[in-house]
Amino acid sequence: MAKFRTNHERKGSGSGSMIIRVGLFSAIIGGLFVLFNKFTGDVSSPSSPEEQAAEPAGEDFSYLPGSTTGTVIHHKYFSLSYSEEHEQAEWVAYRLNGEELKRPWVERVDNFRPDPKVRTGSATPDDYRRSGYSRGHLVPAADRAFSEEAMDETFYMSNISPQSANFNKGIWRELEELARSWAKRNGELYVVTGPVLSMPPKGEVGENRVSVPAAYFKVLLDAEEPQVKGIGFLIPNEVSFDPLYDFVASIDKVEEVTGLDFFGELLPDDVEREVESNFNIDLWEFSKTKYQERIEKWNNQ
């Protein structure tokens, strides 16, 4: 302020119009910067804990599990609980909608990058280079292929976990593809998936010491009446030639192994007990064709 006043006194009244023009130019640049961040999702600094946990207005997050880390982050198309100790999400949760899956897929762009909402800093793509492990998605890119924005979010490193290449391309792919087919048939599924961090890791990768999980879990819930049903999976992080249904578990079993609590606020207590303690494979159509393709092709890619 004093500087502008001094310049005005020295240069006369003509400099006043220059100041106004500079001010307007700065305001325009500032406005464009705000709009750029709004539409690209760029964040210049990590979010505060309050911003991380803030639930978008109007959204129902009763299907989210409890967080053992206290770091719940909401992106537009999925939520996660981040484990700083293991430098990855302990779980990701989202709705898998059949109508969205039926839309034409956008082109995949592998935009792996740190998650700006992880206040402590997430893993980076460099952590995985020359590690021997794949950058495995927890929320699959194909589950969010109905829009560029939705798919782009899945490439935050908070959504990535070190997976054995033949696990990622094999049995994990088969499960992801089956989940999409079940959502198309049933209408919508609640999905929670993540690494089993309660088990000792197989090792670590990168400067950020990203834990290599020994296994992964996925739980799916069809909450539509009159036949509410759920199913869980616990799968070692390694190549598998066994049928996918060999890895089916009750949601209660997945809770026991992971230490997480699923769907406690979404379902009435009596329905939750029934759905989570039992599962019926006959209600979930498995694919012999996909299994055969995994054995003959995907495991060897």
Q: Which residues are catalytic?
A: 137
Q: What is the DSSP letter of 283?
A: G
Residues 6 or more apart whose Cβ sits within 8 Å of residue 52: 71, 72, 73, 74, 117, 118, 119
Report the sign of the C-alpha dihedral through residues 167, 279, 187, 285, in that order: positive
Helix residue spans in 92-225 (DSSP H): 98-101, 148-153, 165-169, 171-186
> Which of helix, strand or coil describes residue 225?
coil
d(CA 235, CA 238): 8
> Which of helix, strand or coil describes residue 167?
helix
CB atoms within 10 A of CB 130: 8
**Residue 72: enclosing H or E segment and its boundaries?**
strand 72-74
Nearest to 262 by CA among 292, 293, 223: 223
Asked if 160 and 136 count as a contact pair (C-beta separation under 8 A), the reply is: yes
> Which of helix, strand or coil describes residue 74?
strand
Structure tokens at 103: 């839309």
d(CA 242, CA 189): 25
